[in-house]
Amino acid sequence: SRFETCWPALMKDSHGVIIIFNPELPSHLKEIEMWYSSFVQQQPLVDSQCLLVAHHKPGSAGDTENLSLAYPLNKLKLIHSNLEEDPEDVRMEFMKYFRSIITLINESREREEMSIIS
């Protein structure tokens, strides 16, 4: 894409990646593999630093049960968002995700400080 030249700047020092996609578009399901590969695997971030959000448009069928993603995407945390029905649920999942990222950052900072001391 025409934005690929900006990617290194976006990735620099990033601690997490949230990929939001429309599960009803087959092209999106292919694209998220590319986003995952570029932004998570090549970083290197661990899978727990990545959150997939399948966003269902208002009025869409929103078949949340039958979205089966292929490996390696099926290892990632996946949440379904439908802001008409359950915005609170999505908010809670985001908070959990952000807390896990903050924990990771704090742990790596502590490790760095210990390595400096020793």
Average pLDDT over residues 7-16: 87
Q: Which H helix or E strand runs over 96? A: helix 87-117
| Mean pLDDT across the chain | 87
How many whole angstroms from its chain centre is CA 32? 10
Please give the residue that has the higher pLDDT: either 99 or 12: 99
- Does position 7 have pLDDT exceeding 70, yes or no? yes
pLDDT at residue 61, as a whole number: 60
Residue type, 57: K
Residues 24-62 pLDDT 10s: 888 888 899 999 999 999 888 999 999 999 998 877 765
Nearest to 41 by CA among 23, 17, 21, 67: 17
**68 pLDDT tier (thresholds 50, 70, 90):** confident
